[in-house]
Amino acid sequence: MTSHRPEMVFRGRRMPGDRALVMAIVNRTPDSFYDKGATFADTAALEAVDRAVAAGADIVDIGGVKAGEGPEVDVDEESRRVVPFVAEVRHRHPDLVISVDTWRHEVGRQVCEAGADLLNDTWAGADPKLVEVAAEFGAGYVCSHVGGMPVRTDPYPAPTPERPFWPRYDDVVAEVTAELTEAASRTVAAGVPRGGILVDPTFDFGKSTRHGLELLRHFDRLTETGWPVLVALSNKDLIGETLDVEPQDRLAGTLAATAIAAKAGAAVFRAHNVRETREAVEAVAALDQKKEQGGHPVA
């Protein structure tokens, strides 16, 4: 697989195409599954952004609501957590690509006005007006796949008598690929710039660990669609269940999966561990380049 990736441009910010990009995670939530609220406070969150940029992040993804189940966070509270923060990050880092993880069009509009470049819709169009906001501002947009899960449902819920084998796919790779391709085409038709669209198979959400491993084994089928693929598997249950380790011990497994997806042409990696992820994708890019050039002669 060549190291070249599809061109990506987010509100005029053209991204490098010779390697995968790193999207740092900054959660403005008190109940994140991984950091347990370490960047909920303003100062801690701003310091996290500064560290991520220094470590080589190309994009910073800011979220104000925990993805899974938890206390209610209404539009006003989500806006309070992220909108002024986006404005401050834009002031401190004028060239940084800022992404906001939200499914609500009201929040999307406010963060675009504050300087966000990319709307990371992790709930697959639950609010259809969000894509309209991206089109209006010329912002980027992430099309995700969650297998029909409602907003703020815990990832891969345990089976119940009513849903003993859920989630179920005849061919998870084919079905996820088809749904994401269709979603990306609809997003273009809605007016979002083609170069700003990413597709995300959304590991864990609406998929078991077995499904996630199958997607990774055949990741080239996603990248061969021509749409830039966002990979968000950092320290997730896919890694934890595969290796039987807790969230704080999933870095090695995350980087192994990162290398596999990068080799298959993934475009962006959403990551907690920025420096390590940046080094992993740069190593894959360098090895690909060496292979294309024939490498060094054997002594």
Q: What are phi and psi of 250, to 5 degrees?
A: -105, 10
- Among this protein's residues, is 236 annotated catalytic? yes
Cβ atoms of 134 and 116 within 8 Å: the answer is: no
Instruction: Note the pLDDT of residue 3.
Output: 46
Instruction: Note the pLDDT of residue 266.
Output: 97
Cβ atoms of 173 and 167 within 8 Å: the answer is: no
E strand spans, 188-256: 197-200, 230-231
Instruction: Note the pLDDT of residue 1.
Output: 44
Q: What is the pTM of this model?
A: 0.92
Q: How far apart are CA 145 and CA 25, in angstroms?
A: 19
Task: Give the tens place of pLDDT for each residue, 11-28.
Answer: 999 999 889 999 999 999
Q: Which of 5, 236, 250, 263 is catalytic?
A: 236
Instruction: Note the pLDDT of residue 263.
Output: 96
Domain spanning 9-293, CATH class: alpha beta
* Cα dihedral value 174, 175, 180, 181, nearest 10: 50
Q: Which of 19, 81, 263, 270 is catalytic?
A: 270
Name the one residue in this structure whose structure tokens are 């990050």.
89
- Token couple for 181: 């391709």
pLDDT lower than 70: segments of the chain: 1-4, 156-160, 162-166, 290-299
Helices 209-217, 172-189: inter-axial angle, 10-degree rounding? 80
Task: Give the tens place of pLDDT for each residue, 173-182.
Answer: 999 999 999 9
Burial 219-255 (b: 16+ CB within 10 A, else e): beebbeeebbbbbbbbbbbbbbbbeeeebeebbebbb
Instruction: Note the pLDDT of residue 157.
Output: 61
Instruction: Note the pLDDT of residue 296.
Output: 54
